Every structure is written in structure tokens, then in C-alpha cells.
Homo-oligomer: A and B are copies of this chain.
Amino acid sequence: MIKVAIVGGTGYTGAELLRLLAKHPHAQVEVITSRGEEGRAVAELFPNLRGHCDLKFTAPNLDTLLGCDLVFFATPHGVAQAMVPELIHGGARVVDLSADFRLRDTALWEKWYKQPHQSPALAQQTVYGLPETNRDKIRGAQLVACPGCYPTSVQLGFLPLLEHQLVDPRHLIANAASGVSGAGRQAKVDFLFAEVTDSFKAYGVQGHRHLPEIEQGLRDIQRGRGEPARVTFVPHLLPIGRGIHSTLYATLVDTSVDLQRLYEERYSDEPFVDVLPAGILPETRSVRGTNICRIAVSRPQDRDTAVILVAEDNLTKGASGQAIQNMNIMFGFTETAGLDMPAFL
């Protein structure tokens, strides 16, 4: 049983870590921090955890965190990059769910996040925690940057096509839609129930912070072959609590490939990627609360455009579940430990 800490436990990803870890066979949450809720019982803030979590929120303390085997950061961007260097120096292992260490190019990070990066050197060495592309590096990593919710689905969707250079990388299209929990548990009028329900809209069309992460990831997959991937990424806000659905479009340079087989083979050993049988399309509810990512691939009208559909839970495979998957890999646990329950419809 390892001891884990959660820094920043009052948001949705913190709550999801607590839910999933409540039944984890090899990990126990020892510490959960929050400056704002210090002293308050976790189960008071998150009533679903009554009977499953006796912890109280505490103020973050370096020694306490260093006493744990693993520290999760579930904080807004800017926090981890200030605290992680000391933890790393003290020998802690860290999985950061925020955006702080996802981009190796910190100049790019600074452009998109509009603030100076405080640990550029560390950002260079961080392992990007997408197990499907980086499992070996994750195993030995001290600091893992857990991928963003949209980038997880977009990378998993395009991966087999880019690995085999089957599509024109210059005009990739990622049309994605997310449940509202993706916006975090912060009081903003835009995310009030009465503003979101019974409606649908795009946002961030001119530029969303996940775009550079997506393009970095896709270019890593390309490994220098061909034109660098360029993505038109349009996120949308869904009137649902959880779930991301990405509809990806790419122009095939070779239409003779059996796309169904390509995807099935690529992901045959992946415990959390489910390539659906031909003709079956994913829906977000079928992955609700689970770490599974379901994918369908097709070529409509036998033309030269490939369409890939990807469904994941933004808080699970898109955040906290993937963080635990990373933990399982880092500590040599069964990769599915604590993550193998079915969704409910």
C-alpha cells in the first residue's frame, strides 16, 4: 500500500481522484490539501464520499508531502510549477494533472498561458503521461505530466493514422465536445446551469490552450516524418456533466488501407482503448466514470476522408483515471488496478 497525497483537492479532478482511490487496492490517500477549505471534512464538500473518506483538507506542507510515495497535483495551472521543484529535489514522485509541465517548449507555454513559466528546466525532463505512447518512460519517471482531456482523445484518435503516415498532416480537424465539468468547479456565470442547459455552442475557436499540446503530441507521434501536423481544433460545450466526444477528420493519402484492422491491431494490447466493431459508434455515457476510451473509425461514402470518433470521460481517462493509470505504471501495479469497473448507462 503506497501513500499518496493530493494537492488541490476541491475541484472535480481532485474529487475524482478521491473517488477512484477510495477502492484502490494498492494506494491510500494520506493527505489532501486545500488552503480555502483547510480543516473541513472532505465528505462534507463531496457527499458522495461519506463513508468512504475520513480525511480533512489541510494546508499544503512540504514535509508531509515528502512523506508520501506519490503526490498528485490537481491544481489550476501555475501552482505545480512553483511547488514541484522542491518536491522533486526532495525525492518525491509527482503526477501533475495541470497544464504546467505538458509543453516542453516553455516559451510556447508562456505565450498560451500568458505568464512566465517558473520551472523551464524541469519541463524539459518531464515525462508526458500518455501510456499508449509513452509507457516505458512513465515507468521510471519521477515527474509525469498528465495529458489534457481533449489532447488525450485527439491523440489516441489520430495516432494509428500518423504512425503510418496515412493522412495529410497539414489539415487535420478535431471537432470536440466536452461536458461542463471540464471547465472546473469555479463560480462563473458562464457555467451556471441556467446558462448551459438545453443549449450547445462552440468556444475558443480562435485558439484553445489545448491546441499546442495536441500538436506537440501529434508531432511526437510523427517522429519527424512528413510535414508537421497542424490541427484545426474546435471545442464545444455540451449540456452534460462528464464526457468528451471528439470527431476527427483527415484526408487519406492512401484509401486502400483497412482502417478498422489498423486500429484494432494498434490498440489490441491497450487495456483502456476499446476499438469498437465496424458500424458501432461510441457514446459518452458508455464510458462515464471509467478510464476506457472507445474509438470508431470509418471512411464515409468510401471517399478519401477518414472519420474517427473518440469517447472518453474527461474526468477519468481525460484526467484523474489516467493519473492513476500513470501511478499504476510508475509503481509496477497492474495497470488496471482500481480502474476496472464498468460504466453505468
Contact = CB atoms under 8 A, between A and B. Distances in A.
A202 B219 CA distance: 27
A205 B342 contact: no
Given A15-B345, A175-B175, A274-B50, A245 B298 contact: no
A189 B187 contact: yes
B288 A198 contact: yes
A120 B177 CA distance: 41
A293 B49 CA distance: 13
Interface residues of A, number: 92
Interface in A235-257: 236, 238-243, 245, 247, 249, 251
A115 B212 CA distance: 49
A199 interface: yes
Contacts of A87: none
A274 B52 CA distance: 12
Contacts of A288: 48, 198-199
A19 interface: yes
A247 B201 contact: no
Interface stretch (A63-71, A77-85, A140-148, A302-310): A302-310
Interface in A162-192: 171, 173, 175, 177, 179-181, 183, 185-189, 191-192
Interface string A69-112: 00000000000000000000000000000000000000000000
Nearest to A309: B202
Contacts of A285: 48, 198-199
Contact of A247 (B181, B202, B305): B202
A254 to B, nearest CB: 16
A189 B15 CA distance: 15
A185 B202 CA distance: 21
Interface stretch (A149-157, A259-267, A275-283, A327-335): A275-283
A230 interface: yes
A121 interface: no
Chain A to chain B: the 4 pairs with minimum beta-carbon distance, closest first: A201-B283, A199-B285, A48-B343, A193-B196
